[in-house]
């Protein structure tokens, strides 16, 4: 089993429309509602592959109830921590050429008692000795800045490895404190952390090793349409494959992380699964997560011999 914790979940609403004109009325022809938030998506992708997943999240108001119902319909076991304020809804507008505009609400503030209840829920869930704890997404207002490091300490006490996927200052602070067995930044997040552009493979690897030296394990850098790079202190490997018809990139990184963590494969095969699950997610609408029939591991190339000077955009 894999446990995920998402302090700022969302009800993800996707509206498909022909074209978006700023300042004009746009009419959507298709809409989707999915349970969202990065850890929630990891749990959904695992459940679609019949991998046991337990999702921990705060939930408030009617959006929170709808989110919990949708999650249980996906086969995800859920533990919710009641929150006073209603769960957020995040909107994605997808134009017919595939351009997606995403609008994320900040999310309801977590009061200290709710953050503590989430930590207690993590502690209880880890008594079940899962294979991983995945801590993912932004932190809502009011959540302590070091919440992810608290989760890392609880995971260490239970001897459960922890994977982190977050962004901005939350990522910087957590990465600097160390204690994460895996961190999954995307290219932009890694550049923001490094404080400069990282246009080549060598520069991405160097930035990833900088994070590792702070006391973290593997860096799984998702590079959008340019594949996934796995970096440890000693080695780096890349996997990727062309996407036939992109529909929505929302949640593709979460699916890549789920693909990496699922199953009991050697690192090279984990990486292949990460790239295959991420690529499959991009070919599905909204935050739909791929199932086994969508994932084509044979279409993914894995390489260990990438020249450091190779530009990421050529991958
Ligand atoms: O605002 P955050 O927490 O950074 O990201 C939330 C979110 O954009 O991430 C998922 C895709 O990765 C979506 O399901 C969700 O709406």
Kindly report the protein residue whose alpha carbon is nearest to atom 12 of ligand 1: 251
Give the Cβ contact number of residue 223 at 10 Å: 24
| Pairing mode of beta strands 228-231, 218-222 | antiparallel
Q: Is 189 in the pocket of ligand 1 (CB under 6 A)?
A: no
Pick the range with the lowest mean pLDDT from 23-32, 180-189, 203-212.
23-32
Question: Mutation test of ligand 1: which of 34, 38, 94 has the most ligand atoms closer than 8 Å to its C-beta?
Answer: 38
What is the torsional sign of CA 18, 23, 25, 30? positive
Q: What's this model's pTM, rounded to 2 decimal places?
A: 0.96
Residue 79 gets the label, from left (phi > 0), alpha (psi -120 to 50) or beta, of beta
Ligand 1 centroid from CA 270, angstroms: 23
**Overall number of domains in the chain:** 1
- Catalytic sites, residue numbers: 254
* 35 phi and psi angles, rounded to 5 deg: -65, 135
Ligand 1 centroid from CA 43, angstroms: 14
Q: What percent of the chain has pLDDT over 90?
A: 91
- Rounded Cα–Cα distance for residues 15 and 137 (Å): 22
Contact 237, 22 (CB under 8 A): no
The b/e string for 173-182 (b: 16+ C-beta within 10 A; e otherwise) is ebbebebbbb
DSSP secondary structure string for all residues of 65-76: HHHHHHHHHTT-
Q: Is 200 in the pocket of ligand 1 (CB under 6 A)?
A: no
Confidence of residue 249 (pLDDT cuts 50, 70, 90): confident
Atom of ligand 1 nearest to the CA of 253: 12
Ligand 1 centroid from CA 259, angstroms: 18
Identify the CA nearest to 200 among candidates 53, 288, 307, 65: 307
Kindly report the protein residue whose alpha carbon is nearest to atom 1 of ligand 1: 138
Q: What is the pLDDT of residue 244?
A: 84
Contact 2, 130 (CB under 8 A): yes
Residues in the chain: 315
Question: Mutation test of ligand 1: which of 88, 90, 147 has the most ligand atoms closer than 8 Å to its C-beta?
Answer: 90
Radius of gyration of the chain (CA): 18
- The parent domain of residue 121 ranges over 2-314
Count the helices and strands in the chain (H runs, E runs): 9, 14
Q: What is the pLDDT of residue 170?
A: 97
Confidence of residue 285 (pLDDT cuts 50, 70, 90): confident
* 96 contacts: CB under 8 Å, gap ≥ 6: 16, 17, 18, 19
Q: On the CB side of 252, how many CA atoms lie within 13 Å of its CA?
A: 27
Kindly report the protein residue whose alpha carbon is nearest to atom 7 of ligand 1: 37
Question: Mutation test of ligand 1: which of 10, 88, 139 has the most ligand atoms closer than 8 Å to its C-beta?
Answer: 10
Over the stretch 91-146, which tens digit does the pLDDT of each residue have? 999 898 878 899 999 999 999 999 999 999 999 999 999 999 999 999 999 999 99
The CATH number covering residue 218 comes to: 3.40.1190.20
Residue 209 has pLDDT above 80, yes or no: yes
Structure tokens at 289: 């997560």
Ligand 1 centroid from CA 87, angstroms: 13
Q: What percent of the chain has pLDDT over 70?
A: 100
Q: What is the pLDDT of residue 243?
A: 87
| Pairing mode of beta strands 162-165, 182-183 | parallel
Atom of ligand 1 nearest to the CA of 250: 11
Return contacts of 155-158, CB within 8 angstroms, 24+ apart.
155/122, 155/126, 157/126, 158/123, 158/126, 158/127, 158/129
Ligand 1 centroid from CA 272, angstroms: 24
Over the stretch 38-73, which tens digit does the pLDDT of each residue have? 999 999 999 999 999 999 999 999 999 999 999 999
């Amino acid at each position: 089993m894999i446990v995920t914790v998402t302090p700022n979940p969302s009800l993800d609403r996707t509206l498909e429309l022909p074209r978006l004109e700023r300042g004009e009325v746009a009419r959507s022809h298709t809409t989707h509602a999915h349970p969202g938030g990065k850890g929630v998506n990891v749990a959904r992708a695992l459940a679609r592959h019949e991998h046991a997943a337990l999702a921990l999240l705060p939930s408030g108001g009617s959006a929170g109830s709808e989110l919990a119902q949708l999650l249980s319909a996906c086969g995800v076991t859920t533990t919710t921590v009641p929150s006073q304020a209603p769960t957020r809804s995040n909107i994605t507008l997808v134009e017919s050429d595939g351009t997606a505009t995403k609008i994320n609400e900040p999310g309801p503030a977590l009061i200290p008692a709710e953050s503590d209840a989430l930590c207690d829920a993590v502690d209880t869930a880890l008594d079940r000795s899962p294979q991983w704890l995945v801590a993912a997404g932004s932190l809502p207002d009011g959540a302590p800045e070091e919440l992810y490091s608290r989760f890392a300490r609880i995971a260490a006490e239970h001897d459960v490895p922890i994977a982190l996927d977050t962004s901005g200052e939350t990522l910087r602070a957590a990465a600097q404190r160390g204690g994460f067995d895996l961190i999954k930044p995307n290219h932009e997040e890694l550049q923001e952390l490094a404080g400069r552009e990282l246009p080549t493979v060598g520069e991405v690897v160097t930035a990833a090793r900088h994070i590792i030296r702070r006391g973290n394990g593997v860096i799984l850098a998702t590079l959008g349409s340019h594949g996934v790079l796995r970096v440890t202190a000693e080695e780096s490997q890349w996997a990727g494959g062309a996407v036939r018809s992109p529909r929505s990139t929302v949640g593709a990184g979460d699916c890549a992380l789920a693909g990496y963590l699922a199953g009991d494969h050697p690192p090279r095969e984990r990486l292949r699964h990460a790239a295959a699950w991420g690529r499959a997610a991009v070919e599905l609408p909204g935050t739909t997560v791929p199932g086994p029939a969508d994932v084509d591991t044979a279409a993914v190339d894995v390489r260990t011999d990438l020249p450091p000077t190779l530009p990421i955009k050529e991958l």
